[in-house]
Structure 1
Amino acid sequence: MSGRPEKHSLTLKGHRTSVSLEPEFWDAFREIAAEDGLPINALAAEIDVTRGADVGLASAIRVFVLRRVRARGTKA
């Protein structure tokens, strides 16, 4: 586990933005997008429109990933 955030560019509403996440979060985010049949830009756009104005996109993505991973753990 590196713990060092990596910056990646995303396109939201036709505009490029950079998001810094730890590699483990990027991996999980890509896995979730693939499971949902969405490109990561589309999933990021969905998260973007639901986050509060006072919540950064990177934080919103981390919380989204955490919630999905936790939900997987409760399904058996």
Structure 2
Amino acid sequence: MSEVKNSESVYVPALFPKAGRLPTDPQMVSDNYDLKMDETEQYRQRLNARAGCIPACFATLRTAVPIRSDRIRSKG
């Protein structure tokens, strides 16, 4: 059997609580998500301010291409 040559401390995770770590209330999850999004936006604004950038405005444009059914060939 091999011999242990490293006697440094070993870190282990904390015991998992019986009640679990995730919130069971949907409102708590929603509030936490909103908080994280606010923190992310504030961080981005601070970075832009430091760099002297004006945040760009992005918009999504969705387009649909109509296809005429008389142009579609059936297989076979």
TM-score normalised by length of structure 1:
0.29
TM-score normalised by length of structure 2:
0.29
Question: Hey, which of these two has a bigger chunk of helix by percent?
Answer: 1
Question: Hey, which of these two has a bigger chunk of strand by percent?
Answer: 1
Higher normalized contact order (CA 8 Å, seq sep 6+, divided by chain length):
1
Larger radius of gyration: 2
